[in-house]
Amino acid sequence: MIASPLFGAWSNYRPRREPLIVSIFINVAANVLYGYVHAFPSHNKYYMLLSRAFIGFGAGNVAVVRSYVAGATSLQERTTAMANISASQALGFILGPALQAGMTSIGQTGVSWNLIDLELNMYTAPAFFGAFLGVANIVLIVALFREHCVIDLDRMKSINGNIQGSSEVLENSYDSIDLIAVVSSNILFFVILFVFAIFETIATPLTMDMYAWTGKQAVLYNGILLVGVGVESIVVFMTTKFLSKRFEDRLLLLGGFVIIFLGFFVLLPWGNQYPPIQWTEIKNPSNYNSAEMKYNESSIITWNFLTQASLYFNAERIGCPVQQVWCQHTPIIHLVQYILSAVLIGMGYPVCNVMTYTLYSKLLGPKPQGVYMGWLTAAGSGARTLGPVFVSQVYTHYGPRWTFGPICGIVMAAIILMGLIYNRLLGFSIHYQRLQ
């Protein structure tokens, strides 16, 4: 959130390869620090926190990537290029956890190299692999990346009548940007990332509460589901490229919001079936103690009692925690509801994501877009920060009704906002021509 506007501004005044290389180098260094957290004699958790902070800072280069794509494509190419970028990002979200899961085969001990104090195990291997990919990216940028800029000269000529007029448009384009549309686009993007972050965050605790899954089951089943949603998103990204040739970008964005609204509306609980409460399946160990009293040998009694008590106190608690009072009066969210919601959100989110970026880049016009793209990325990062905070507080204390109900209201407010600014969400050249 902090780094995106900074890298974006940097890319406006210097070659884009500079912020790209620096940001990726920060990411590489942060991953190496993560892999060596064990090597510090004390305060290890603070070094881990520092490494995660720098990884987040390095990720701010997405603003540079988006601004480059916006400047290197014509208006006709823009939606397709943005869809390809978003699909690549979605593919990374799928392959990342899959590779991490595959590296669990290394085990908790793994291999050691005392000469450089290296511990390669299931926890550090993903970090070192991420550092390797970062180095490979830097090599590719140095070897292959070239600056490229496309300005729709034909469109500019149709407005001002000559190439010199196009230069004037380029010089004064910021004066003609519709700031209301720009700010509203940032708000819409915040909502998109906010609700998706909530869905990602709530998946594990929700399924553990509703279906009495263990932590391991919840991680496994939700991992499979999210991989499926990721694959679905890639298909939707590719489909959006073709739909954009037949339908307006604004109409596709509005349709995506409607689908997201339906996805969260489906999650509202109903019926007269309630989630299982924790401990209802586990017997009291004192029962086992009394049952064993028929034996005369005190050692057998003691052994059996301690065994059953150990099972009782060490067993993983499954079901809805008794501390969450809403579990006793809120109906269960059926598994079919949950899966259907995931499918709908996995369909609406990618459409909204790519269409927001596309419309935003068209709103800004031919000037370098690094700073503005930085603000848009910062809005999304802020949403991904606040989303988990919101869901951790509201869901725990008030349950799914007061979690998904307000989310439906937020998405509906975004739909209303888009309706109000619908006529403002136009390409820069069209807006400029109207001003002329």
Beta strands in 109-179 (DSSP E): 111-113, 118-120
Give residue 198's pLDDT: 92
CB 376 within 8 Å of CB 70: no
Confidence class for position 308, pLDDT limits 50, 70, 90: very low
Tokens of 387: 């989303």
For residue 379, count other CB atoms closer than 10 A to its CB.
23
Work out the pLDDT band at 434, boundaries 50, 70, 90. Answer: low
Q: Could you give the CA distance from residue 219 to residue 196 in angstroms, rounded to a whole number?
A: 18
The answer on pLDDT for 301 being more than 70 is: no
At 56-82, the pLDDT tens digits run: 999 888 888 888 888 888 877 888 888
Residue type, 87: A
- State the average pLDDT over residues 114-140: 89
**pLDDT computed for residue 71 by the predictor:** 81
Q: Taking the model in full, what pTM does it have?
A: 0.77
SS3 275: coil
CB atoms within 10 A of CB 329: 9
Q: What is the mean pLDDT of the chain?
A: 81
Cβ contact 202:403 at 8 Å: yes
pLDDT > 90 in the chain, percent: 33
Amino acid at 353: N
Q: Which of 229-233, 286-290, 387-391, 408-412 has the lowest mean pLDDT?
A: 286-290
- Residue range 3-153+178-274+326-435 forms a domain whose CATH class is mainly alpha
Look at residue 283 and tell me whether its pLDDT is greater than 70: no
- Domain limits of the chain? 3-153+178-274+326-435, 285-317
Window from 136-150, 179-193, 313-327, 370-384 with minimum mean pLDDT: 313-327
Tell me: pLDDT of 25 over 90: yes
Residue 382 in contact with residue 9, Cβ under 8 Å?
A: no
Which residues, other chains included, contact 109 with Cβ-Cβ below 8 Å and sequence gap of 6+?
121
Q: Cβ contacts of residue 50 below 8 Å, gap of 6+?
A: 33
Among 130-134, 421-425, 429-433, whose mean pLDDT is lowest? 429-433
Share of the chain above pLDDT 70, in %: 83
More confident position, 253 or 227 = 253
| Interstrand relation of 118-120 and 111-113 (parallel, antiparallel or unpaired) | antiparallel
Question: How confident is residue 311, by pLDDT bands cut at 50, 70 and 90?
Answer: very low
Overall average pLDDT of the 50-59 stretch: 92
* 174 pLDDT higher than 70: no
List, in order, residues 6 or more apart from 425 with CB less than 8 Å away. Answer: 181, 185, 249, 250, 253, 359, 363, 418
* Distance in angstroms (rounded) separating the CA atoms of residues 37 and 46: 9
Residue 108 burial (CB count, 10 A): 8
| CA distances from residue 243 to 79, 223, 350 in whole angstroms, order as listed | 10, 29, 13
